[in-house]
């Protein structure tokens, strides 16, 4: 059977009143109107690739990325020359953190379709996620030259320049973005997030003016409030600063609908199921690779500093905050739930699935992680670092599939750590961080789980107390390297001279020698932090006692 061309399918769709009505509904985001039209059409014409692509777009908009991916792959199976479907597939893969696959399809689209700025922009972003910074920067240079008034292009270019340590060029790119779009709040926040830029009175006036813009969106609004919080902090007006932080966090929290009990239930379930006897029964299971070093803990707890220290060692490579462990664990939970039909999904599904792993499952998944992360490794160093802080909740999964991996718990004073998160807007994730009470409960759950592993797997996790590292860096670095089985190297003390790319909010801070600038930053705000203190219980008073 001859395969229809993409052009033929699109021309047919333009003549179909139902598909045209569905297209209009999609363009107006009336998904509830578009879906029945598309489903009805596909019942009668299940191989109509134009309709399949539209259904895939609908699925992606409501977050059903796997469904969207399956639909797009079906469209390409039917019509391999359907460039628009391939471009959509690249986007869906990017959103699932599957960057090498996204790049493969982007390269095919660009090879076939030639000059496509939208796809070139996505390619630059994907390259940045696998360490292809030089090529990404070259793409952004070309795109900003062609579209000098495109604010978000300049902003993305600024992000990439910041990652590789070109701070002055990064600031210049952010300023170009603001010249093009003065109300783009994310750019002001990006300047604040460098941690090294002081806002002028003119900057503050411009941000205040932007907040009065009638058409200002919520995203711009909370970014502006986060940035103004930093500007007021620079002026030692802590009440005004906190008012801006509180407004920013309230706006962001309202979008996310975070449930603090979900993490609590996960921790309770892990503590109940993953006992000492559980681990004894699984001795010798899992993949035997010793390569990964996981740095876990709360965000803003000093994990980037530890990573920079270790990445300055001749035997350890720094990568970035890799998404693979949570993605794999949650996938196993979904797959297990599908096998157990007849009940709703739960936040603990991945734990149930993990506890049911056979020795073969554990070996297979450990090997998969090593293979998935291979693209992030640019050197021949024998060890590599994954510093996704939230992996603390997946330590049981890591222990099952990679029993020889090393785990480092980066811990910082709960009030400094939590308030630092409250002042921070994260590009994605960290939904717990936009409410003081939520944050305190998240911190206590994290400490509970680490204490459990100390009890049932003593010595498995090495803890680095941030303030002790600042006080006596050589002693703490030697202890850390001993835990990892690595010889001491002076370069680890001179980590700030390392020119490697750093993607996190602490990128500029770890390019400076060790300092105590971040210690006790919560104290001027103490009057505002009662909800956090209550949620933490006695942890903030007994720190750094481990309990």
**What mean pLDDT do residues 153-172 have?**
94
pLDDT of 344 reads: 47
Q: Is the pLDDT of residue 340 over 50?
A: no
The pLDDT tens digits of the residues spanning 226-256 come to 999 999 999 999 999 999 999 999 999 999 9
Q: Is the pLDDT of residue 157 over 90?
A: yes
pLDDT of 18 reads: 83
Give the best-scoring range by mean pLDDT among 77-81, 369-373, 501-505: 369-373
pLDDT of 427 reads: 84
Give the Cα separation of 172 and 118 in Å (integer). 23
Model confidence, pTM = 0.86
Strands 406-411 and 316-320: unpaired
Query: Could you tell me which of 120, 119, 114, 147 has the C-alpha nearest to residue 135?
Result: 120
Dihedral, CA of residue 372, residue 375, residue 378 and residue 384, to nearest 10: -10
Query: Could you tell me which of 503, 446, 437, 393 has the C-alpha nearest to residue 249?
Result: 437
Alpha helices per DSSP H over 301-342: 303-311, 324-339
pLDDT of 3 reads: 57
pLDDT of 114 reads: 72
Give the Cα separation of 164 and 133 in Å (integer). 7
What 3-state DSSP class applies to 471? helix
Q: Is the pLDDT of residue 383 over 80?
A: yes
pLDDT of 509 reads: 54
Q: Is the pLDDT of residue 317 over 90?
A: yes
**What mean pLDDT do residues 281-308 have?**
96
pLDDT of 19 reads: 85
Strands 383-386 and 406-411: unpaired
| Domains of the chain, first to last | 260-542 (3.40.50.300)
pLDDT band at 354 (very low <50, low <70, confident <90, very high): very high
**What mean pLDDT do residues 390-405 have?**
98
DSSP output for 489-521? -GGGTTGGG------STTTTGGGS----TTTTT
Q: Is the pLDDT of residue 539 over 50?
A: yes
pLDDT of 4 reads: 60
Q: Is the pLDDT of residue 361 over 50?
A: yes
pLDDT band at 16 (very low <50, low <70, confident <90, very high): confident
* DSSP category for residue 164: T
Considering the chain, what percentage of its residues have pLDDT values greater than 90? 80
Query: Could you tell me which of 397, 399, 376 has the C-alpha nearest to residue 386?
Result: 376
Q: Is the pLDDT of residue 40 over 50?
A: yes
pLDDT of 2 reads: 54
pLDDT band at 544 (very low <50, low <70, confident <90, very high): confident
Give the Cα separation of 377 and 398 in Å (integer). 19
Q: Is the pLDDT of residue 338 over 60?
A: no
Give the Cα separation of 246 and 240 in Å (integer). 10
- DSSP element (H, E) containing 461: strand 461-465
List the beta strands (DSSP E) in 5-85: none
Q: Is the pLDDT of residue 155 over 70?
A: yes
Residue pair 241/230 in contact (Cβ under 8 Å)? The answer is yes
Q: Is the pLDDT of residue 342 over 50?
A: no
Q: Is the pLDDT of residue 510 over 70?
A: no
- DSSP element (H, E) containing 406: strand 406-411
- Residue count (the chain): 547
> What's the CA angle centered on 199, arms 197 and 200, to 5 degrees?
130
Weakest mean pLDDT among 75-79, 450-454, 470-474, 515-519: 515-519
Sheet of 316-320: strands edge to edge? 316-320, 383-386, 292-297, 406-411, 461-465
Give the Cα separation of 123 and 378 in Å (integer). 19
**What mean pLDDT do residues 458-485 have?**
96
Please give the structure tokens belonging to residue 270.
């892990």
Please give the structure tokens belonging to residue 122.
């996505």
pLDDT of 501 reads: 57
Alpha helices per DSSP H over 114-258: 117-129, 133-146, 151-163, 167-180, 185-193, 201-211, 218-234, 238-256
Distances (CA, A) of 467 to 45, 473, 516, 518: 65, 10, 8, 10
Residue pair 412/466 in contact (Cβ under 8 Å)? The answer is yes
pLDDT band at 61 (very low <50, low <70, confident <90, very high): very high
Burial class, 7, CB count within 10 angstroms (exposed 0-12 / middle 13-18 / buried 19+): exposed
The pLDDT tens digits of the residues spanning 105-151 come to 999 999 987 788 999 999 999 999 988 999 999 999 999 999 999 99
Q: Is the pLDDT of residue 500 over 60?
A: no
Q: Taking the CB of residue 447, how many other CB atoms lie within 10 A of it?
A: 23
Weakest mean pLDDT among 135-144, 366-375, 412-421, 513-522: 513-522
The pLDDT tens digits of the residues spanning 204-215 come to 999 999 999 999
**544 prior amide bond cis, ω within 30:** yes
Side-chain half-sphere CA neighbours of 296 within 13 A: 28
């Amino acid at each position: 059977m001859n395969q229809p061309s993409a052009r033929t399918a699109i021309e047919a769709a333009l003549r179909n009143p139902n598909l045209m009505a569905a297209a209009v509904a999609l363009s107006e985001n009336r998904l509830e109107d578009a879906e029945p039209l598309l489903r009805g059409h596909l019942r009668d014409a299940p191989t109509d690739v134009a309709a399949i692509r539209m259904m895939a777009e609908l699925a992606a908009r409501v977050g059903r990325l796997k469904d969207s991916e399956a639909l797009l792959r079906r469209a390409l199976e039917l019509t391999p020359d359907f460039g628009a479907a391939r471009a959509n597939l690249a986007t869906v893969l990017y959103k699932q953190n599957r960057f090498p696959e996204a790049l493969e399809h982007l390269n095919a689209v660009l090879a076939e379709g030639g000059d496509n700025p939208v796809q070139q922009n996505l390619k630059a972003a994907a390259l940045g996620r696998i360490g292809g910074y030089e090529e990404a920067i070259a793409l952004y240079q070309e795109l900003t030259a062609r579209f000098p008034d495109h604010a978000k292009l300049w902003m993305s270019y600024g992000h990439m320049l910041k990652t590789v340590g070109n701070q002055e060029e990064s600031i210049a790119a952010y300023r170009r973005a603001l010249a093009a779009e003065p109300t783009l709040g994310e750019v002001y926040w990006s300047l604040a997030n460098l941690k090294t830029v002081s806002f002028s009175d003119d900057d503050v006036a411009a941000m205040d003016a932007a907040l009065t813009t009638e058409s200002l969106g919520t995203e711009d609004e909370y970014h502006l409030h986060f940035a103004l919080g930093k500007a007021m902090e620079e002026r030692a007006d802590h009440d005004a600063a906190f008012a801006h932080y509180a407004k920013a966090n309230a706006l962001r929290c309202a979008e996310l609908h975070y449930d603090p009990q979900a993490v609590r239930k996960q921790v309770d379930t892990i503590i109940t199921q993953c006992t000492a006897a559980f681990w004894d029964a699984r001795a010798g299971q899992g993949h035997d690779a010793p390569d990964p070093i996981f740095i876990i803990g709360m965000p803003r707890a000093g994990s980037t500093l530890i990573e920079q220290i270790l990445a300055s060692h001749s035997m350890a490579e720094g990568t970035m905050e890799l998404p693979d462990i949570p993605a794999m664990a949650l996938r196993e939970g979904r797959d297990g739930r599908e096998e157990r039909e007849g009940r709703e999904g739960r936040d603990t599904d991945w734990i149930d699935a993990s506890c049911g792993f056979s020795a073969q499952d554990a070996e297979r998944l450990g090997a998969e992680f090593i293979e998935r992360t291979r693209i992030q490794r640019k050197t021949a160093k024998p060890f590599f670092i994954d510093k996704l802080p939230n992996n603390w909740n997946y330590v049981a999964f890591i222990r099952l599939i990679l029993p020889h991996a090393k785990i480092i718990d980066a811990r910082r004073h709960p009030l400094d750590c939590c308030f630092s998160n409250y002042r921070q807007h994260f590009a994605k994730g960290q939904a717990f961080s936009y409410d003081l009470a939520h944050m305190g409960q998240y911190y206590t759950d994290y400490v509970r789980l680490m204490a459990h592993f100390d009890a049932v797997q003593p010595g498995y996790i090495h803890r680095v107390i941030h303030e002790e590292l600042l006080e006596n860096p050589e002693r703490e670095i030697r202890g850390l390297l001993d835990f990892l089985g690595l010889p001491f190297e002076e370069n680890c003390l001179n980590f700030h001279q390392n020119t490697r790319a750093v993607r996190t909010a602490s990128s500029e801070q770890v390019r400076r020698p060790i300092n105590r600038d971040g210690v006790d930053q919560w104290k001027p705000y103490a009057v505002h932090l009662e909800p956090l203190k209550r949620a933490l219980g006695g942890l903030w008073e007994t720190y750094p006692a481990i309990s």
